[in-house]
Every structure is written in structure tokens, then in C-alpha cells.
Amino acid sequence: MMEILRNMLRRKGRTILTITGITVGIFAFTVMGSMALRFNKIISGGKRYITGQITILPKGTSFEGGSGGGALLPLDVLDRMRKVEGVEAVAASVEIPLEEPDPDNPTGGGFGPSKSIEGMDLDSAYKNRNWETLDMKAGRFIAKADPDNVITVGYTIAADKGIAVGDTMNIRGRDFKVVGIADQTLTGPDNFIFMKITPAREMLLASNPFLQSLKDRADEAAKITDADLALLSPEARKQIISARSFKLEDLTPSAAVSWKDGQDPDEVSNRIKDQLKDDVLVLSPTKLGEQIDKASAIFNAIILGSAVIALVVGGFSIINTMIMSISERKREIGIKKAIGASNRSIAWDYTLEAGAIGIVGGILGMTIGAITALIINNKTAASGAEIFLISPGFLLGVVAFSFVLGVLAGVIPALRAAKLKVVDAIREL
């Protein structure tokens, strides 16, 4: 080992430059890899949830674009859906941003899932096939029997805002009592606040001027007595009756369907689509899973790409260094062979030296990369947008990769050294 170290230090400048090359490559691998791991974690968590249900969105919207724009599901569609063969339960859901969008920063600018309110239809028998319950860090999940003013808070929101069970949290001007803090999932639910669907619908209504105007009209229409209504023209009467029909429980931006045991979710999705294709967009678990896999593939390509960069940058610099080193040490190889060194022993020495260069560069690159990721994570943690997932397993893997890279890059020069004919090396003496 000492001999390897001494050989590395023979040409300090060259060794430092080689190690720097590997350090840069492994730094990029660590940072890009940690970022991709974070994305993949978010994506896989989302996939697990989304493939455990059939997702129903209003016609004209898309999964990527969300149900934004105030689009809502038609009035009687949930009831019609419940009657489709294979459907176990249908749950309305309301998802709105936790805070009113900032007019000066309407796009937000956060990383990963945005903080949002999840209004849940707890009266429904719906259950997600892959994610029936959330593990709790403290307290409990909201229940059907709870009043409307209780919430369960996601891990990141609770950490960012310093919220504990029993606290009161003000959301969009209303006070809610916190009954539980969810455990960390490293995906969507960390940034959710779970509440019953009624207060979520009320907040959706309050945030949407169009819906609010319908509600105002309904309230005004309700003030008109039936006697007064009878005095109006048929056309006016029709409009007022229509205005009166507006109900809060009709505000359903999206819904989730669970299927009966033994049913194929894709077949159930197709049945819903056949019967309600003019009214809703049906997203089957398989179709959504495929879409998510496509996104995931991009991040896997980032990991692979950064590994390839590290491989090329680091590998070639090691090969170059080792070839130069062997050419300079031809005499020494000759001496060693003359005193009995086997080809294997010579190859082993040089391969280990290349592996040592790889591992030193790897440890440096990994350390600098991990520290960089930690610093950035700490800076962005306040906004709930940690960019990197720093996994000890991945970091160890990175170091192992750098050693393997060194060894592989060293194999060809080492074999050249081993195959050197003693007499040729001796002639250099």
C-alpha cells in the first residue's frame, strides 16, 4: 500500500491533475445523481399513488396541465360513474394551492410538488389500492366523524412552519386545528394539507371569482319567494330557478375511482370512458404509469449521462497517466521481473495504483458534491423545495464506482506492463 502511495506521489503534479479530472467527473455524477434521485423519488411516490386509482378529470383538461383554469366535472357525472360495472367507489377531490398565488410571482418558482390543500371526500368508500394510509409522525389522519375545521399536515409543511399536533393553523383566512403530522414520504404528501372536502370547496369557491358570482346569484335568487317568482315571466323564472340550483357540493374539479376486487382497472377505465367520454377525461392506472415512466426515464438518463461523463473524463485521464507512468517505469518493471515478479503481480500492482487514483478522486468528488448538495438543500429547505436526495447508499456507490472506474482504466496499461518482455525492459537498464 505504501509503495502504491509513493508511486502516486512520484509525479505529484500529474497525479493531482489526474485526480482533479476524476474529482470533477465524480462531483458532477454526485450532484446530478442526487438531483435525479430526488426527482425519481417524487415521481415514484406520485406513480404509486396515481396508479392505485382511476383518475377522472373534466373534459378538456390534461393530467400534465392539471385541472387548472377552474374546470369542473359535470353535475351528475359522479353518480353515473358509480353505476359503471366494476366501480367500487367514487370520491370527489379538490386540490388548490395552499396560499393564494402571489400576483408578483404567479408561477411560484418552487421545486417539486407545490404546497397544496387536498380536500378529501371521506364519506366515500373509495380507497387507493397502493396507498391506503399514510404513516403518521404524530397524531392521526383526519376522519369522517371530524368537524370541518381539522387538518392533517404534510411533513415538509409542518417542518417549515414549525407546526405540531394541537396547533391552530390559519389557511386562507380560516383557522384549522392540526390533528396529525404525516411522516416523511419524500413525495407529494409531504407538501399537502389534508382536510375534509367541504372547507376545500369553500376555499375553491372563494378563490374563483366566476364561481363566487354564481354563488352570489344563487343567494340572491334564494331570497325571491315562490309567490314573487310566480309573478315573473317564464323566461325570468327559468333563470332564477337555474341560479337557485347552484350547490357547493357540485364543485368537483377532479375525482378518483376505486375498482372492485378482482376487476381489471384498465377494463373499468375503458367502461367509464365508453359511457362518459363526452363528459370526462379518464386516466387509467396503466396509461398514467406509462406517462410517469417516461418522465422517470429522463432522470435515469441524467444519472447515466453524468456517470458516462465521469467515466470518459476520469477514465481517459487515468489511462493516459498510467500509460505514461508505465513507460517511465519500464526499467523498474524490468528489475521486478528479473527478480521474479510474475505477470499477474505486475498487472495487480499497476491496476491497484489506478484504482487508488480512482478512489481518491472519487472520495474527493463525492465529498465536494455531497457538501454542495447539502448547502443548496439547506438554502432551499425553507421554501420546502429541497433539490437533492442525499442517499448514503448512492454516495457509497459513487465511491465504489470511482474505484471500479480506476481499476478498469488501469487494466489495459497494467496488462501492457505485465506483457513487457523482460529482455526489452532489461535493455533499458
Partner 1 sequence: MPKVLISAHNLQKKYTLSKTNTVHALQGVNIEVQEGDFSAIVGPSGCGKSTLLHILGLLDRPDAGAYLLDGIDVMKMKESEANVVRAKKLGFIFQGFNLITTLTAVENVMQAGKYGGMNLKQRKVRAEELLTLMGLQDRMLHKPNELSGGQQQRVAIARALMNKPAIILADEPTGELDSATSMEIIELLKKLNRENNQTFIMVTHNLEVAAACKKTITLKDGKNAE
Shortest Cβ 344–partner 1 spacing (Å): 8
C-alpha cell at 367: 465529498
CB-based contact 385:111 (threshold 8 Å): yes
Alpha carbons 364 and 372: distance in angstroms, whole number: 12
Nearest to 337 by CA among 420, 428, 415: 420
Binding mask 390-429 for partner 1 (x = CB under 8 A): --------------------------------xx--x--x
Binder among 337, 351, 388, 417 for partner 1 (CB under 8 A): 337
257: β partners? 54, 90
The residue among 345 and 378 lying less far from partner 1, judged by its C-beta, is 345
Among 133, 115, 128, 173, residue whose Cα is nearest residue 149: 173
* Site residue total, partner 1 (CB under 8 A): 21
8 A C-beta contact, residue 263 and residue 86:
yes
Does position 340 bind partner 1 by CB under 8 A?
Answer: yes
Given a contact cutoff of 8 angstroms between Cβ atoms, the answer to whether 128 and 300 are in contact is no
Strands (E) in 145-248, as ranges, are 150-153, 168-171, 174-182, 192-196
- Is residue 213 classed as helix, strand or coil in its secondary structure? helix
Q: Which of residues 192-231 bind partner 1 (CB under 8 A)?
A: none
> Is residue 289 within 8 Å of residue 47, measured between CB atoms?
yes
Q: How far is the CB of 355 from partner 1 (least distance, A)?
A: 19
Applying CB under 8 A, among 232, 236, 241, 338 the residue interacting with partner 1 is 338
Q: Least CB distance from residue 322 to partner 1, whole Å?
A: 16
Handedness of CA 198, 200, 203, 204 (dihedral sign): negative
| In contact, 99 and 206? CB cutoff 8 Å | no
Closest approach, Cβ 345 to partner 1, in A, equals: 7
Pick 195 or 425: Cβ nearer partner 1: 425
Report how far residue 304's alpha carbon sits from residue 33's, in angstroms, rounded to the nearest whole number.
8
Residue with smaller CB distance to partner 1, 171 or 341: 341
From candidates 95, 146, 279, 332, binder to partner 1 by CB under 8 A: 332
Measured CA to CA, the distance from residue 365 to residue 361 in angstroms comes to: 6
Q: Of 69, 342, 378, 379, which one interacts with partner 1 (CB under 8 A)?
A: 342
Interacting span for partner 1 (CB under 8 A) from 11-19, 162-170, 214-222, 338-346 = 338-346
Which of 161, 345, 379, 396 is the binder for partner 1 (CB under 8 A)?
345
Strand, helix or coil for residue 282: strand
* Binding window for partner 1 (CB under 8 A); candidates: 82-90, 211-219, 263-271, 334-342: 334-342
Please choose, out of 20-28, 54-62, 192-200, 331-339, the segment that lies near partner 1 by the rule CB under 8 A: 331-339
Closest Cα partner for 86 from 270, 283, 276? 270
Pick the binder of partner 1 from 295, 341, 376, 408 (CB under 8 A).
Answer: 341
Q: What is the rounded distance in angstroms from the CA atom of residue 264 to the CA atom of residue 308?
A: 41
The CA distance from 47 to 289, in Å, is: 6
- Cβ closest to partner 1, residue 206 vs residue 426: 426
Nearer to partner 1, 16 or 221 (CB): 16
- What mask of x and - would describe binding to partner 1 in positions 5 to 44, judged by CB under 8 A? -xx--x----------------------------------
Candidate ranges 30-38, 122-130, 240-248, 329-337; the one touching partner 1 (CB under 8 A): 329-337
Please give the C-alpha separations between residue 183 and each of 5, 178, 230, 242, in angstroms, as whole numbers.
47, 14, 58, 46
- Min separation Cβ 422 and partner 1, Å: 5
Residue 203 to residue 214: CA distance in whole angstroms = 15
Residues 343, 372, 377, 380: which binds partner 1 (CB under 8 A)?
Answer: 343
327 lies in the site for partner 1, by CB under 8 A: no
Q: Provide, rounded to whole angstroms, the least separation between the CB of residue 340 and partner 1.
A: 2
Residues in touch with partner 1 (CB under 8 A):
3, 6-7, 10, 331-332, 334-343, 345, 422-423, 426, 429
